[in-house]
Structure formats: C-alpha cells, structure tokens
Amino acid sequence: MHLKKREQFRSRLGVILAIASSAVGLGNVWRFPYIAGSNGGALFIVLYILCLLFIGLPILMTELSIGRGAHKSLGHAMDDLQPAGSKWHYFKYFIVLGAILICGYYPVIIGWVIYYFVGLFDGFLLDPSKTSKEVFSDFVTNKPADALLCTYVAVFFCAACSWLGIKKGIERTTKPMMILLLLFLVLLCGYAISLPNAEKGLEKFFVPELTDLSLSKIGSILHAALGQVFFTLGCGVGIIMAYASYMGKKKTIVSESLIVCGIDTFVAILAGVMIFAACYSQGIGVDAGVSLVFQSMVEIFKHMPMGQFFGVSFFFLLFIAAITSIISVFESVVSFGIDCFNISRKKSVLYVSIINVVITVPAVYSFSTFSNVSFFGQDIITFEDFVSSNIFMVLGSLLFAVFCYSRYGWGINNYMAEINEGHGVKLPNFFRNYLRYVIPIFILIVFVTGIMS
C-alpha cells in the first residue's frame, strides 16, 4: 500500500527555508513587535529567547523526529511508529482538525494583506479625507466580496504550490521567497532606523524597563513569551511533521532546528526594530494590538517620506511571510490526505482546496453578514484564532511530547536516536529527564493559563 518512494527536498537549504518559512509569518512581523512592546521590550526578548531554546526547540524536534523517522506525514506517521496494538494513531483526526481550522481564517487575513498591497500600490487607501481606521472598517464591513476574492487568491496560490509537489512547488516557491523576505526586511529596517526620532523606538524596544518589576509581572511576561513561542513555531498541528517527512538524514534534527529557530528570531527582531522605529518616528504607539498593521502602520505611511513606497514594500513582505506559512498548513492537510487515504497528490489538493473555499467564508463575512455571530464574546476570526492557538496547537504539542518521550508511545530512546542521527549538533543524554518530566508540565501550564486568559 505504501511502497511508492517518497519525494524529498532537493537541498538542505530548501528544507531549512521551507520549515523556517512556515514559522516566519504574521506572528513575526505583526504579533511579536506589539507583544514585545506591551511586555517590557528587552526583558521580553531575553525571556522569549530562553523559552524558545528550552521549550520551543524540544517541541519542534518532537514533530520533526516523528515525520522524519516515519517518512510519513500525520496521516500515517504515528501508525508506523507506535508500539504494536496501541491506539495513538486515532489522535491524528483531532490534530488535523487544528490545521483545517487555521485554513479557515489565516487565508482571510492574507486576503486583507493582498487588498492593502493593491490599495497602497494604487493609492486608494491613502485617501487623506478618511482615517485609516475608517478605511479599515469600511473594507471589512462593506466590501466582503473584495475580501473573499483576495482570500481565494491566497487559497489558489497554496493549491498551485501543493499541486506541483515538494521540489517543483513548495521548495521552488518558499526558497526564493524567504531570501526575498530577508532582503526586504533588512532594507526596510535600514530605512526605518534612518527616520528622525527612530532612536526613541529603538530605545523602547531594546532597553529593559526594570522599574517596579514584580514576580507577577515576570510571570505575565513569561506567559506572553511562551504563547508567542507556540504561535510562531506552529507546532502541534502536524505542519512541521509534513515537511519533516520529506527530509533527508544527513544532518541532525538538533542542528536543523537550531537554524530554523535562529532565522525565526532574527526576522522577529528585525521586524520589531522596523515597526518600533517607524511608529516612534511618527509619534504613534506600538500597542495598538490587532489593528497595528492595518491601521497604525497605514496612518504612518500617509505621513512619512516615501510612505507609499514603504507601505507597498511592507505589505509585500507581510504577504511573503504569511503565504509561506499557510502553504505549509495547506501542504500538511494535503499530505494527510495522501498518506491516510492513499489518494494521489492532485486529488488531495483538489479536495483540500474545496474545503478551503468553503470554510473561509464565515471568517470573511465575520464583520459583515455574520457580525452578530459571536462565541464567548469573540467574533469568528478571533475565536478561530483562539481555539487553534490555545487549544489545538498546545494539546497537539503535548500529545507529540508524550508520544516521543514516554515508553507507552514511541519512546525516548527512539526519539534521541532520531534527533541525533546525522552530522551536526547532538543533544546530550542528560537532557532525557528534562524532556520527559519538565516539558509536558510546561505545556500543561501554557494550556491552563491560555484557556483562563
């Protein structure tokens, strides 16, 4: 049944950039800067890096090891690795639901990014008679058809990449896009810090505020940092596992994971520098939350020198970051279909595209036709985001951790052998107990505090 030789990425750079492109997304360019801004700047950054290394990295490695170890995606990986007679594989249906839920709202936000890219390019979003807030609410409430069209452009883009396969589609798209993203980011960052008053923003971003630092404040910064680690790595929903299933074994998983985390953090910090410098140069706060990108930043583009050029470039960068993330989610559902139901790639792409076309509709109309619909006081998009990041990603990560570390699952010996296979950095054996006892407890803490918040 599963004798077909599995496709692999062409090069090591291809694998690393594909996984990094999944991690680097809206979370880095939009979420990281404002969370860092509202959680004490530099102190947040230090705690975030510690959380990423000691908690994020092991979690990332569980999914990589399962995918590479089985050479299968979520659709069949646990079936192959679990001890005979156990029932771990039933969890895959729960996990794939998390990925499908992300497909329901993330392309909608990418649709907004596409609309803003076009609107800034054309100039119609820069109308001086309206504030950016009015423009944004007019768009989401009165122009759902435009939003739907832009969302479908994003879905079509993912479908085309997946249709062409790993080497010709995913690798060929994500590799140059990631390189372009890094280039654009460095250029825009350079421009932003050359603006007058930019140094005030840099000071806010990099100099820690250590006055009235209490234990509860450190606790809440830690919570924000852990939440960001989960969001940016996108673990627990089988995405990383799908890419890992096409990976070769020349380098250790530890090495590859360290590089991915390094690229992800580099992008987040540069994006923070860019946004803080641009906001402070125009005297606008960075704590606007969700509206930061679509309202505050657009207001800034209206007034800064070369604002239209900066704005178009900024939304282009955001588009690359976001589309490469959703390509990975789309591919994970496609490869689930291939491995689980033994259907061809093209058939699976077709089914997943149809599912996407349907499930994005509620989120597109969440501020217009469905503006009365709310779940626990949240609109549809916010609720889908909450459930996928606080429930599916966290519980999925816990499940993979227990599967890899406990003797009732794949087991710590197999896991250690898999992550250390190949050349490069290896994880010493004394980390075993840390992985088995500390990591699951941390994930549980993130789950409970996430739900309570």
Amino acid at 327: I
The correct pick among 14, 16, 27, 315 for binding ligand PHE (CB under 6 A) is 27
Stretch that binds ligand PHE, among 21-29, 213-221, 306-314, 340-348 (CB under 6 A): 21-29
Does 329 contact ligand PHE by CB under 6 A? Answer: yes
Question: Based on CB atoms, which residue is closest to ligand PHE, 280 or 330?
Answer: 330
Q: How far apart are CA 250 and CA 73, in angstroms?
A: 19
Site for ligand PHE contains 169 (CB under 6 A): no
Would you count residue 55 as binding ligand PHE (CB under 6 A)? no
- Alpha-helix runs per DSSP H in 39-90: 42-51, 57-70, 77-81
Choose, by CB under 6 A, the member of 191, 231, 301, 314 that binds ligand PHE.
Answer: 231
Q: Does position 58 bind ligand PHE by CB under 6 A?
A: no
Contact flag: residue 257 with ligand PHE (CB under 6 A): no
Backbone angles phi, psi at 133, to 5 degrees: -65, -45
Note whether 325 binds ligand PHE by CB under 6 A: yes
Binder of ligand PHE out of 57, 64, 102, 188 (CB under 6 A): 102
Contact partners, residue 113, CB within 8 Å, separation at least 6:
315, 318, 319, 322
Q: How far apart are CA 159 and CA 172, in angstroms?
A: 14
Cβ 116 vs Cβ 308: under 8 Å: no
Q: Whole-angstrom Cα distance, residue 447 to residue 443?
A: 6
Given 15, 23, 259, 402, the residue binding ligand PHE (CB under 6 A): 23
Nearer to ligand PHE, 135 or 381 (CB): 381
DSSP state of 250: S
Query: Do the Cβ atoms of 74 and 92 come closer than 8 Å?
Result: yes
Strand, coil or helix: what is 114?
A: helix
Piece in contact with ligand PHE (CB under 6 A), picked from 41-49, 230-238, 290-298, 394-402: 230-238
Query: In the set 39, 82, 162, 232, which binds ligand PHE (CB under 6 A)?
Result: 232
Dihedral angle sign, alpha carbons of residues 451, 95, 389, 134: negative
| Nearest to ligand PHE of 26, 247 (CB atom) | 26
- Of the candidates 239, 304, 395, 412, which one interacts with ligand PHE according to CB under 6 A? 239
Does residue 28 touch ligand PHE according to CB under 6 A?
yes
Minimum separation from the CB atom of position 363 to ligand PHE (A): 14
Q: Is 324 in the site for ligand PHE (CB under 6 A)?
A: no
**And the tokens for 117?**
């890219």
Q: And the tokens for 121?
A: 């390019």
Q: Of 20-28, 249-257, 379-387, 443-451, which segment contacts ligand PHE by CB under 6 A?
A: 20-28
- For ligand PHE, which stretch binds (CB under 6 A), given 23-31, 56-64, 192-200, 299-307? 23-31
DSSP assignment of 313-376, as one string?
A: HHHHHHHHHHHHHHHHHHHHHHHHHHHHH---HHHHHHHHHHHHHHHHHHHHTTTTTTTT--BT
Q: Which residues bind ligand PHE (CB under 6 A)?
A: 23, 25-28, 102, 106, 231-232, 234, 239, 325, 329
